[in-house]
Structure formats: C-alpha cells, structure tokens
Amino acid sequence: MATMTKQNIGNILAKQGILVAFALFIIAFTIANPKFLSVDNMFSVVRSSAILGVMALGVTFVVISGNLDLSVGSMMSFSTIVVLDLHDQIGPLLAIPAMFAMTIALGAFIGFLVGYLKLNSLIVTLGMLSAIHGLTLTYSGGKNMDIADKDGTWFSVFGQGTALGIPVPILIFIALAAVLGLVLGKTAFGRKVYAVGGNGTAATFSGIRRARTVFLCYIMSSACVATAGLIQASRSLGSQNTVGQGLELEVLAAVILGGASLMGGSGTIFKTVVGVLILGFIQNGLLLLGLQFYVQFVVTWVIIILAVWLDIAAKRGRLWSPIA
C-alpha cells in the first residue's frame, strides 16, 4: 500500500510538478505577506504579466517545433514604436493593421530562414535581435515615441480599458490563450508542430511539410508579438525605443517553466500560462517582501532553477541524474 501511494504521488508530480511548485510559491508568499492574495494584487500581477504572456504563447509554438526565437524582445520594441508613430500619421484604425503586417513580415522572414533554408534558429534569431533593434532605432531616428493627443484617442482601450470589471489586457491574454490552446491541442496543425519538434525526420517521411510548419510557427509568434506591442503602446500611449529589450529571456524562461522542452516536442499553452504567472507572482511576492530590485533578480533566478529542477526530478523519479 505504501509503495502504491508513493507511486501515485510520483505520477502526480511527474505530470503536474510545475503546478505543485506554483502552489508552494503562492503559499509561501501568502504566509510572508497576507496582502499577496488580495483581489487587487491578483489583478495587478496578471495585468502586468499580460504582455509577457501574450508573447510567450507564440514562442510556445516555436519551442515545441524544436526551435528558438530570441528576436521577440526587439520585435516588440519595433511594433510598439511603429504603431505609435503611425497613430498620429494615419490614425489608429489604419495604424494597427499596418503594424501587424510589418511585424508579421519580420516573422515570416525569420520563418523562411529557419524553415525553408534550414538555418540554425539560435543564430538566426540572435542575429535578428540586433538587426531589428537597429531597424527600430533607424525608424524612430533614435527617439522615443509619444502620441500627440493622448486624451482624444480611443487607442488607449487595449492597454487601459476594462470590460465587466476586468482589464482588457487580461481579457486579450485569456482569449488568445484559449484560441491558441485549441489550435495546439485540437487541430491537425498542432499535431504537426509536436511531430516536427519530436522527430523532424520522421515527420518529413510521414508526409508532414516540416518547413511550412516551422514557417507558420514563426508567423504565429510574430503575430503574438504584434499583439503585445499593441497592448504596450496603448498602456502608456508612448514608449522608449528599447521597451522590449531583455524580454526575450523572460519569455523563454516562462515557456520552459511551463514544461516545454528546448529539444522540442513537448509543452502546452496552459502550462505556458502557468509559467508566465509563476514569474509574475514571484516578482510581485519579492516586491511585497521589500527586497531591492537587484536582489530580486538573484532570488528569481534561484527559484526558477529550483522549480525546473523539481519538475525534471519528478519526471525521472529521483532528485539526481542517474548518470551522476
């Protein structure tokens, strides 16, 4: 009976290790500061995590397909600057689709290089990180962007609005997660993404168009980045031209925290959302504890490593690698 109980606990940890870690973080921070679980604080954390979360949803497809995308931070800066600039030139109704088209074009270019030319995704997206940053600075002339008439535009609804008492950024995040979760888990395209990431050669021999699948994953990632840029621009109605700098690492951390493998073939949208929330609540909990921002960086890193270690240990049934 005791053996069966241990096996059942082990199976639960193997499948839901990251959720168990998330629950432990929540309990620890709540004990340290009762305000942590207040409704206002919950909304604040999820709202502030929405931009990171929207980007992570798209990157989940890329990672599951067996690739990386380190360009999303600079691409978000580009989309934010472009939509703010075009807002005053052609109006928000035309600026939004124009920004989406330009951002998706960048994603398509990356997808072409990685998917059809079969170049290494790490090298391509690392190079594009710098290239897109340079493109953003060139486009903006090295200047930050602000909307001229901040009081007379409906554009602020995406970042500042509410519906049924819920902030619009949260609603966008939830809706996009629901749609992409269905795409990844319930459609033929989603199964192709898993197949390509799990074993690209076998997928090709099975008749799956590997290059096209990878290409579409980068298209989806760039569309999510454009959505994040829209929320960011709408939130402040102005932006620095480096607003997305460094976000690519946080996005990747959230996806990996959610259980996606860097080797490809595994991961879900739901667990990516959990990974995003873990990052958001860790940072918020440390803030409520009054830690300095530089201490938060270190503690956040330790907690992330611990969470990933416990998740991997639960899946293999031991804390240490059998090789060691």
Query: pLDDT digit string (tens) for 178-204?
Result: 999 999 999 999 999 999 999 988 898
Distances (CA, A) of 23 to 28, 48, 134, 220: 9, 20, 41, 31
State the residue for tokens 């290089």.
113
Structure token pair of residue 293: 């921002």
Q: Tell whether the model's pLDDT for residue 211 goes beyond 80.
A: yes
- Quick one: which H or E segment has residue 162? strand 162-163
Q: What are phi and psi of 163, to 5 degrees?
A: -140, 125
User: CATH says 37-316 is which class?
Assistant: mainly alpha
Residue-wise pLDDT tens digits, 132-165? 999 999 999 988 898 888 887 899 999 999 998 8
The pLDDT of residue 69: 94
DSSP class of 187: S
Residue-wise pLDDT tens digits, 238-259? 889 899 988 898 898 889 888 7
State the pTM of this model. 0.88
The pLDDT of residue 44: 87
d(CA 277, CA 296): 16
Under a CB-based contact definition with an 8 Å cutoff, are residues 214 and 200 in contact?
Answer: no
d(CA 253, CA 297): 13
Domain ranges of the chain: 37-316
Q: Return the amino acid letter for 168.
A: V
Structure token pair of residue 109: 């270019």
Q: Helical H runs in 91-167?
A: 92-111, 121-140, 157-160
Q: Tell whether the model's pLDDT for residue 15 goes beyond 80.
A: no
Q: Identify the band that residue 321 occupies on the pLDDT scale cut at 50, 70 and 90.
A: low
Q: Tell whether the model's pLDDT for residue 4 goes beyond 60.
A: no
Highest mean pLDDT, choosing among 24-33, 109-118, 266-275: 109-118
d(CA 215, CA 266): 18
Q: Identify the band that residue 59 occupies on the pLDDT scale cut at 50, 70 and 90.
A: very high
